[in-house]
Amino acid sequence: DAGVTQSPTHLIKTRGQHVTLRCSPISGHKSVSWYQQVLGQGPQFIFQYYEKEERGRGNFPDRFSARQFPNYSSELNVNALLLGDSALYLCASSLDQAGREQYFGPGTRLTVT
């Protein structure tokens, strides 16, 4: 079975631009969560979606938004990019609403210049 997939693998953007990251969960998983991992730190929770509804939000500004589609894939959008948004963005999927056992994708490496 395919694991969690994310696209693109790498991305370079300039300050002020907008970016969209994509995630496809494991087949049968209805919950998708997004994390930001800055070098030298653990992943930081951004959003969780279950059945297309937002179930949780971390401490990130409104420039960050996400959505989940009927096929349970998800997009993370970041507007007005800042240098500090440079990070590895991870997507994880799980079976249940609470997301208690999550499986991670390879991530998208975003560099903002």
Which residues would be at the binding site for another protein (CB under 8 A)?
A: 33, 35, 40-45, 48, 55-56, 58, 90, 92, 97-107
Output the DSSP codes for the chain: ----EEE-SEEEE-TT--EEEEEEPPTT--EEEEEEE-TTS--EEEEEEETTEEEEE-S--TTEEEEE-TTS-EEEEE-S--GGG-EEEEEEEESSTT--S-EE---EEEEE-
Compute CA distances 5 → 19, 64, 66, 91, 102, whole Å. Answer: 17, 20, 16, 8, 14
Provide, rounded to whole angstroms, the least separation between the CB of residue 109 and another protein: 12
Provide, rounded to whole angstroms, the least separation between the CB of residue 26 and another protein: 12
Residue among 43 and 81 whose Cβ is closer to another protein: 43
Residue among 48 and 81 whose Cβ is closer to another protein: 48
Provide, rounded to whole angstroms, the least separation between the CB of residue 35 and another protein: 8
Residue among 8 and 16 whose Cβ is closer to another protein: 8
Provide, rounded to whole angstroms, the least separation between the CB of residue 17 and another protein: 26
